[in-house]
Amino acid sequence: MRFRCLHCLHCCFFSTPVDYPIVLEGEVDTLKKLALERNITLNFRRITDQFYLWIIEGFCPFYDIANRRCSIHENKPFSCKMFPLLLNIRTGEVSVSFACDWVINHISELINERNNIAEIFPDEFKAVVNLFKKIKALRSGE
């Protein structure tokens, strides 16, 4: 069993602040540059020295609703690359989002195979690992 995005719209639509993505400072800079090129206004709130809350109400401004695709796929932040995996930045725990139709459709298999997260979500898990490496590098001043 391997995750396959169903392009269901849920990961790119935000209805409450709890759902807003958390992004790194460098990602904020990249997103602002991309937004400027497209005449889009973005809002962020600093959480810590390294993390920002990306305040999005409704669809992500980079989401192409008609084609159900990300218009900045190659430049999207870690929080988007790793979805439907979620990282609790306080505890380091990784979980899956129930906002994802694929996860809901495969919940019984995920419960039975919960120890194989890297096999079920290989690309998304790689993004989590890369995010951990990035955070470690930022904290050590590299």
pLDDT digits (tens, 9 = 90+) for 49-64: 889 999 999 999 999 9
With respect to residue 1, please indicate whether it lies within any of the assigned structural domains: no
With respect to residue 33, please indicate whether it lies within any of the assigned structural domains: yes
From residue 10, how far is each of 33, 45, 66 by CA, in Å?
Answer: 25, 22, 14
Beta-bridge partner residues of 52: 23, 46
Query: What is residue 116's predicted lDDT score, i.e. its pLDDT?
Result: 82
Nearest Cα residue to 100 out of 13, 24, 33, 1: 13
Query: What is residue 104's predicted lDDT score, i.e. its pLDDT?
Result: 94
With respect to residue 67, please indicate whether it lies within any of the assigned structural domains: yes
With respect to residue 4, please indicate whether it lies within any of the assigned structural domains: no
Residue 68 has pLDDT above 80, yes or no: yes
- Could you tell me if residue 58 is left (phi over 0), alpha (psi between -120 and 50 degrees) or otherwise beta? left
With respect to residue 125, please indicate whether it lies within any of the assigned structural domains: yes
Residue 83 has pLDDT above 80, yes or no: yes
End-to-end CA distance of the chain: 37
Mean pLDDT calculated for residue range 76-94: 90
- Take residue 103 and report the two structure tokens written for it: 């996860």
With respect to residue 5, please indicate whether it lies within any of the assigned structural domains: no
114 contacts 121 by C-beta, under 8 angstroms: no
Confidence of residue 89 (pLDDT cuts 50, 70, 90): confident
With respect to residue 34, please indicate whether it lies within any of the assigned structural domains: yes
72 contacts 21 by C-beta, under 8 angstroms: no
Residue 114 has pLDDT above 60, yes or no: no
| 1-48 pLDDT tens trace | 899 999 988 889 999 888 899 999 999 999 999 999 999 999 999 998
d(CA 125, CA 60): 22
Query: What is residue 142's predicted lDDT score, i.e. its pLDDT?
Result: 60
Q: Which residue has the higher pLDDT, 116 or 23?
A: 23
Total domains, the chain: 1
With respect to residue 2, please indicate whether it lies within any of the assigned structural domains: no
Residue 108 has pLDDT above 90, yes or no: no
CA 11 to chain centre: 8
d(CA 1, CA 136): 31
Q: What is the pTM of this model?
A: 0.88
Domain region containing 24: 10-140
